[in-house]
Structure 1
């Protein structure tokens, strides 16, 4: 590795630290998993009424819960990172 690759990586790491991406990712994963678990419990235990016939069983809902958790985690992480970037720009101005 030459100096430009090392400098670029440290700059990227500093940029990600300034935007607090790691923290935002952890929050996003927590929110995504909690939301998906809640939706899974509501649907599988039929807390809001029975599912229509032929919709699928608990294993299908588990697969959908994984997709929901991932999508929600990604969305929350992006939103929090955009908010962090906005605050960093406002502080710099």
Structure 2
């Protein structure tokens, strides 16, 4: 037996065929836009004060909502990029 690992085919062609860079960019823009809107509505209280507003001792309310906005942006970006890539894969499978 040999310890040689067989060569793998390059994955760059698949990434380009599925438009992954474009899908990731669209996902990042959508996620960032949603997070900015949610953060502004919550921190600036554009609909008025929220019921049950509390004091947050460590970071303050704005700090915690900024962290939550980052989580919202990253998860939304991942979801949008995944859905767009699945749509690209489906369309590519239909043409074969």
Report TM bin, short chain: 0.7 to 0.9
Q: CA RMSD in A?
A: 1.6
Give the deviation of 1:36 after TM superposition: 0.3
Q: Sort the Cα spacing of 1:22 and 1:55 in 2 relative to 1 into closer, same or farther, 3 A.
A: farther
Match in the other structure for 1:4: 7
Alignment size in residue pairs? 87
Structure 1 counterpart of 2:68: 64
Decide which structure has greater helix share. Answer: 1
Match of 1:79 in 2: 83
Three-state SS of the structure 2 residue aligned to 1:48 is: coil
Larger Rg: 2
Structure 2 unaligned runs (5+)? none
Gaps spanning 5+ residues in structure 1: where? Answer: none
Secondary structure at 1:46 match in 2: coil
TM-score, normalised relative to structure 1: 0.85
C-alpha distance in 1, partners of 2:65/2:90?
37
Q: Separation in 1 of the partners of 2:31 and 2:20?
A: 16
Could you tell me which residue of structure 2 aligns to residue 24 of structure 1?
Answer: 23
Deviating 4+ runs (over 2 angstroms): none
- Per the normalisation by structure 2, the TM-score is 0.83
Distance 2:13 2:55 in 1: 48
